[in-house]
Copies of this chain bind each other. A is one copy, B any other.
């Protein structure tokens, strides 16, 4: 019998349940029952409930860090297109993680230890706005960032169908006169 590492199994199940019922809506007991282990085992592998969530979103967070770093090296002329395509590719690859982050955002994101994430999304918004300080550009960038995330979370279509439509609407909205 191939023995799946318990830790990985916990993450897999927790990911499913968090997505389905939300972070607060999923108890350690629920996860343990689905995994088929005791609640104490969860807390042997992860110090706290939060740590499970952190581990789940870590790959997405790392990808976001990479994207922001990449954008820093792009000139003002091309930054909008790079940000748009980079962000859409990222959120389509980590759809479940994006949903998770938005689920816990209101309560978690304002905690000090999440300040770094705030900086990352600020950088992304600057990219979407073409590094413009105009309120109208900033607001448009926020609309697209939030809107793309919302679609990726709620829409059931697959990435192949979503990607071109998302890129198109973002270009139309953010690169006026170039469509």
Contact call A176/B172, Cβ cutoff below 8 A: yes
Residues from 88 to 119 in A contacting B, C-beta threshold 8 Å: 103, 106-107
Let me know if A179 is at the binding interface, CB within 8 A: yes
Residues of B within 8 A of A168 (CB): 136, 140
Check B157–A135 contact: CB distance below 8 A: yes
Taking Cβ atoms with an 8 Å cutoff, the residues of A that contact B are 21-22, 24-25, 103, 106-107, 135-136, 139-140, 142-151, 154-155, 157, 161-162, 164-166, 168-170, 172-173, 176-177, 179
Number of copies: 2
Q: Say whether chain A's binding surface is mostly helix, strand, loop, or mixed.
A: helix
CB distance from A32 to the nearest CB of B (A): 21
User: Which residues of the partner chain B approach A21 to less than 8 Å between Cβ atoms?
Assistant: 107
Q: Are A169 and B154 in contact (CB under 8 A)?
A: no
Please report the C-alpha to C-alpha distance between residue A10 and residue B159 in the assembled complex, in whole angstroms. Answer: 45
